[in-house]
Structure 1
Amino acid sequence: MNTRTIDTHTVNTHTIDTSTPVIPADAYDTTAFYADADAIATVTNPTAPDAVTLPSEDASTAELLAAAQEAGRRAVPAPLAETALVARPLLRRAGLPVPEGPLSYAIAPELTIRYAHPADSPVGSAGCLGEDDTLLVTGTLPRVPWGRAATAVVVLAAAPFGPVLFTLTPDLADLAPGGNLAEEPRDDLHLAALEVPAAQVRRIAPELLDEARLRAALARAALIAGAAERCVDLTVAHTTARTQFGRPLSHFQAVKQEEARLIEEAALVRAAVRAAAVPLDTGGPAVRLTVAAAKTQASASAAEIARIAHQLHGAIGMTRLHPLHLATTRLWSWRDEDGDETHWAHCLARPLTAATLWPALTTTP
């Protein structure tokens, strides 16, 4: 695995040896992180070093969440969670073929959608009917995850005749590159009267639009759980190896207390994500409750996990030569993406009343 090293030089008579990598060999493949974002990592090759295999299409939600969590832990530079947990299931539900390669999604963007081949109608406004479902789409898909690297983007939007799901390839759009704090691609795709063939369009029920939002939030929560686990691993390793006043940092009571808090927050996120797996497979009212709880907990814990990890690492944790930032910048970014803790806390609490709260908490999905 590739590692980053620094040249041998002398600082205050202390020599830094280039034979010792700054980032341990078992940490991350840093070449992928500092390369151009267009060079997307291959995660489907099981023979690659530290590969995270893309689960099969018939994998359970629990298996998909485990893979997404591992991708978050390793900061895999690829849309594994977006592909496995969001795009592929939505395409199957809509009855559309699933393209090969990495996929992304855009949920409920503000688009202008009309029929490309309007039909004459004796009633209603002009263009309210079409000879087929071929669409003309104008507008912007904002901050599409890994937009430039995706082979296709799954779009769910409102049309004059109801919600629709369609696919498009990024090369058909005017792409404005962007990124989040972790330098993951978040690209704007500008569409100017793009014609989407009827074969790539499906009319969908409003429930599928709701499911898309839930899937995206749960995928992001699983990634946060993985990054949180990485923060725990790196922090425990650092406080065990780093000595001060003749003993490891982990032997100081104040450090132990902060480590315990860090481990606790990471465990809360992991448990909340796992609790949402079965309801998403089986359906029912528990889905919204468990997914909202998972994303609320994940986003709320992300800031505290990053704070403790950086505080216990000290200055070294703020450098690009140390792998901690690969986890914490993702935590800060993913916290807000697909709904932050405030949004999902409202979704969690709004349908609950005094009469429904206790059954919702105690009923087994």
Structure 2
Amino acid sequence: MKTHTIDTSAPVISADAYDTAAFHAAAGAIAVVTNTTAPDAVALPSEDASTADLLAAAREAGHRAVPAPLAETALVARPLLRRAGLPVPDGPLSYAIAPELTIRYAHPTASPVGSPGCLGDDDTLLVTGTLRRVPWARAATAVAVLATAPFGPVLFTVTPDQAVLTPGGNLAEEPRDDLHLAALEIPASHVRRVSPELLDEARLRAALARSALIAGAAERCVDLTVAHTTARTQFGRPLSRFQAVKQEEARLIEETALVRTVVRAAAAPLDTGGPAAQLAVAAAKTQASASAAEIARIAHQLHGAIGITRLSPLHLATTRLWSWRDEDGDETYWALRLAQPLTATTLWPALTTAP
């Protein structure tokens, strides 16, 4: 089975990659944090892997704080390009849903009816505008772009060297770059007309990929918190023996299990599409985003002051939770998407019918 391994040189330190020896070597030494090992890498599943397997890989990437666009590649860009019949480039990929781009025909046809440029000799396009906060754009081989052309929704690919890149990042220091396009010509062979349903599927895939990453980071918070409260002692006994700590740990594990469950439950509906996919993905991202804040709060509370330092690997998980909570739609956005199609007569069947 053909697999790829995504690895980048982005300046993000992966979990458990810290060298704190300099801090303890001598009294008064300045703490030095260095990346002494290669960034964690997770094998990119093959293109024929099931959605459940892809979600598991994305969750593991979130757990390890993998500094690469694994979820963006496996769950969003590759499936969309295959569905549209475009070649799938090797290596890491990203995506952008950008209806605000200005797109016109590169070879307009003179027509006695309609406005100038309303028809074209072919689907070669001139694209102008900015793709904002593209995940891992600087590290991507290509970016799958969904936009609106004169003839309707369209999918094409852009490589970072075709645009002017403005570096950016989220709270976790993951790249979120702007790509500025100035009358970029996209050949007709690289353009595919797509249905509105595929455009909506792109939003669902992006949200579910982010939910799977949140689930992995939440599991990392549980691992680190349980290890800390077990090893740390106070008043002659481990923190984990105190009732108040036990209660908060139970809440942390409960929230994490809830996120993991709703993400797993969305795999089959995403494959079938339709209203079931809308409901399942909206529920997954609503719960994942809503739980992210509570998971981070409990983890930091039980770690105490040590958890907020860069010497602690906890921040690698919690800063990602805070960032991913808002990306690809926060809980408010997806709660509205979840509720809009439901009525008094359709709510119970939606909750009780298997996808």
Residue number in structure 1 paired with 2:349: 359
Cα displacement string for residues 117-159 of structure 1 (whole angstroms, at most 9, x for unaligned residues): 1112222111011111110000000000001110100000111
What is residue 35 of structure 1 aligned with on the other side? none
C-alpha contact (below 8 Å) 1:71/1:80 kept by paired residues: yes
Give the secondary structure class of the aligned counterpart of 1:278.
Answer: helix
2:245 is aligned with what amino acid?
V
Deviating 4+ runs (over 3 angstroms): 29-32
The aligned runs of 1:65-144 (5 Å cut-off) are 65-144=55-134
Residues 192 and 128 of structure 1: CA distance in aligned 2, closer, same or farther (over 3 Å): same
Task: Choose from 141, 152, 157 the match for 2:147.
Answer: 157
Tell whether 2:69 aligns with 1:54: no
- Asked if residue 330 in structure 1 is aligned to residue 320 in structure 2, the reply is yes
How big is each residue's C-alpha offset from its partner over 1:165-188, in whole Å with a ceiling of 9 and x where there is no partner?
010101110110000000000000
Question: C-alpha distance in 2, partners of 1:261/1:298?
Answer: 15
- Superposition deviation, residue 193 in structure 1: 0.5
Out of 101-110 and 355-364, give the one that drifted further: 101-110
How many angstroms does 1:302 deviate by? Answer: 0.2
> In the alignment, which of 256, 268, 281 is matched to residue 278 of structure 1?
268
In the other structure, the counterpart of 2:172 is 182
Aligned to 2:19: 4
Amino acid at match of 1:166: F
Q: Does the 8 A contact of 1:238 with 1:313 survive in 2?
A: yes
2:219 pairs with 1:229: yes
Deviations 1:183-238 (A, max 9, x none): 00000001111111111100110000000000000000000000000000000000
The alpha-carbon deviation at position 108 of structure 1 amounts to 2.8
Whole-Å Cα distance in 2 between the matches of residues 218 and 225 of structure 1? 10
**Which residues of structure 1 form unaligned runs of 5+?**
24-28, 33-40, 42-49
Q: Report the aligned-residue RMSD.
A: 1.9
Contact residue 22 and residue 322 of structure 1 kept, 8 A: no
2:249 to 256, 259, 263: 259
**1:338 CA drift (Å):** 0.0
After superposition, what is the alpha-carbon deviation per residue over 1:20-45, rounded to whole angstroms, capped at 9, x for unaligned? x999xxxxx6656xxxxxxxx6xxxx
Provide the aligned length of Structure 1 versus Structure 2.
Answer: 338
Q: Distance in 2 between matches of 1:349 and 1:257?
A: 32
The TM-score with structure 1 as length reference comes to 0.90
State the partner residue of 1:315.
Answer: 305
Name 1:295's counterpart in structure 2: 285
TM-score of the superposed pair, with normalisation by structure 2: 0.92
Q: Say if 1:104 and 1:150, in contact at 8 Å, map to a contact too.
A: yes
Does 1:206 find its partner at 2:193?
Answer: no
Unaligned runs of 5+ in 2: 1-15
Q: Are residues 1:170 and 2:160 paired?
A: yes
Q: 1:109·1:140 contact (CA, 8 Å) conserved in 2?
A: no
